[in-house]
Amino acid sequence: MDINAIVQAISTVGFPIAACCIMFWYLQKEQEAHKVEMNTVTEALNKNTLALTELKDLLSLMTGYGGKNDASRESK
């Protein structure tokens, strides 16, 4: 193979290969960032679930009802 054929091959496929490598790197960085974001969202959701459970328990104590299926609610 002569030099011109090698240069032609690199210029023909070199850019697509470089673009694929750059896109792969970018995708990996985005996946890492998304994982961190989702961990943050999961933590916030767990805290909100705990807060809502505590709020429900507090309201149950204040009203004297155990919840939707409480039999004492129907008799009153």
Contact between residue 26 and residue 33 where contact means Cβ atoms under 8 Å apart:
no
Question: Which pLDDT tens digit goes with each residue over 37-72?
Answer: 999 999 999 999 999 999 999 999 999 876 665 555
Residues near 20 by beta carbon (within 8 Å), at least 6 away in sequence: none
Residue 60, pLDDT score: 92
Euclidean distance between CA atoms 64 and 72, whole angstroms: 9
Question: Which pLDDT tens digit goes with each residue over 4-35?
Answer: 888 888 888 888 888 899 999 999 999 999 99
Q: What SS3 state is found at 69? A: coil
Domains of the chain, residue spans: 29-59
pTM of full prediction above 0.75: no
Q: Show the CA angle centred on residue 64, arms to residues 60 and 65, nearest 5°.
A: 65
Euclidean distance between CA atoms 66 and 59, whole angstroms: 9
Residue 12, pLDDT score: 86
